[in-house]
Amino acid sequence: MRQWGVPSHHRLKHRVQFYETDAAGIVHFSWFYRYMEEAEHALWRKVGLSISPRDAKIGFPRVSATFDFHHPLHFEDEFEITITVVKITTKTIQYKTVITCKQSDIATGSMIVACVSKTPGQPMKSITIPREIADRFQPSD
């Protein structure tokens, strides 16, 4: 049985694909947001959940996402994406992401997601994160 309550983080390895690069031969900035989201989904799987199960009545849209870029990534570079839950409120989860390559920070980012109801035919509405989800994540300092 998994012990919840340990700090929630996850690390993924990735290799830059040619289609992820731009005309300058470096990873296009938009890919960093995809890497962060891929790590987020892997973190949810690690704690036994899916961020978007079929027929879900709730969702977790992004309300904020940022990146600071420190060094470029190039085609075939191998790098790691580390995502950490840094804060949980009653209605949001905040993540920190660090992308590293060869022990150097390439980019640092953050993302906040909000828990919302998904009722067909009605607008999304912010709701409290269900306890069975919130209890799976332990923010890290």
127 within domain boundaries: yes
Q: Region 96-108: what's the mean pLDDT?
A: 97
Q: If pLDDT is split at 50, 70 and 90, which confidence band does 2 have?
A: very low
The edge-to-edge listing of strands for the beta sheet with 58-59 is 58-59, 116-117, 125-126
CATH value at residue 49 = 3.10.129.10
Residue in 40, 36, 7, 42 with CA at minimum distance from that of residue 109: 36
Phi-psi region of 63 (alpha: psi -120 to 50; beta: other; left: phi over 0): alpha
Res. 33: pLDDT tops 50: yes
1 within domain boundaries: no
Res. 1: pLDDT tops 60: no
3 within domain boundaries: no
CA distance 45 to 43: 5
Report the C-alpha dihedral over residues 5, 104, 112, 2, rounded to 10 degrees: -20
Q: If pLDDT is split at 50, 70 and 90, which confidence band does 31 have?
A: very high
Q: Mark 104-136 as b/e (b = at least 16 C-beta within 10 Å).
A: eebbbbbbbbbbbebeeeeeeeebebeeebbeb
Q: If pLDDT is split at 50, 70 and 90, which confidence band does 54 have?
A: confident
141 within domain boundaries: no
4 within domain boundaries: no
pTM reported for the whole predicted model:
0.91
Structurally, how many domains does the chain consist of? Answer: 1
140 within domain boundaries: no
Structural domain boundaries, residue 85:
9-134
Q: If pLDDT is split at 50, 70 and 90, which confidence band does 18 have?
A: very high
2 within domain boundaries: no
